[in-house]
């Protein structure tokens, strides 16, 4: 059974680097859809890990701890990418003079 093990430190570091670079790219070109792509990619990985742990056969029960760590890391990356999407969406809305999707975090963005 193939498991995309993101609890491996090297994989985790590479995923973090790619996420930060994509967020920086989205912030520089002021397009929030790049942040949305990252968010949906991490949501897909989260759903994949949950499906794997839900359909795990008896002979692969030793992988439960690895998959559990992967799910916890997935939630962290979803949280990071969600806030970065909201941040870049706010930047894009200010530049284009449009209303942002969600203005409820204005107090937070002013402190960032």
pLDDT tens digits, 61-105: 888 999 999 999 999 999 999 999 988 988 888 888 876 666 666
Domain residue ranges in the chain:
9-111
Q: Of 57, 49, 56, 100, which is closest to residue 75 (Cα–Cα)?
A: 49
At 63, list the tokens.
């992988």
Gap between the Cα atoms of 14 and 21, Å rounded: 11
3-state secondary structure labels for all residues of the chain: CCCCCCCCHHHHHHHHHHHHHHHHHHHHHCCCHHHHHHHHHHHHHHHHHHHHHHCCCHHHHHHHHHHHHHHHHHHHHHHHHHHHHHHHHHHHHHHHCCCCCCCCCHHHHHHC
pTM, to two decimals: 0.82
pLDDT tens digits, 16-73: 999 999 999 999 998 989 999 999 999 999 999 999 999 988 898 888 999 999 999 9
């Amino acid at each position: 059974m193939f498991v995309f093990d993101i609890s491996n430190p090297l994989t985790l570091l590479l995923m973090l680097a790619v996420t930060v670079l994509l967020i920086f790219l989205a912030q520089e070109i002021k397009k929030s859809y790049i942040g949305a792509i990252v968010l949906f990619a991490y949501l897909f990985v989260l759903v994949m890990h949950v499906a794997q742990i839900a359909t795990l056969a008896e002979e692969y029960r030793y992988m439960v701890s690895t998959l559990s760590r992967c799910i916890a890391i997935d939630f962290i990356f979803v949280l990071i990418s969600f806030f970065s999407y909201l941040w870049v969406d706010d930047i894009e809305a200010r530049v284009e003079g449009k209303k942002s999707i969600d203005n409820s975090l204005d107090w937070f963005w002013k402190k960032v």
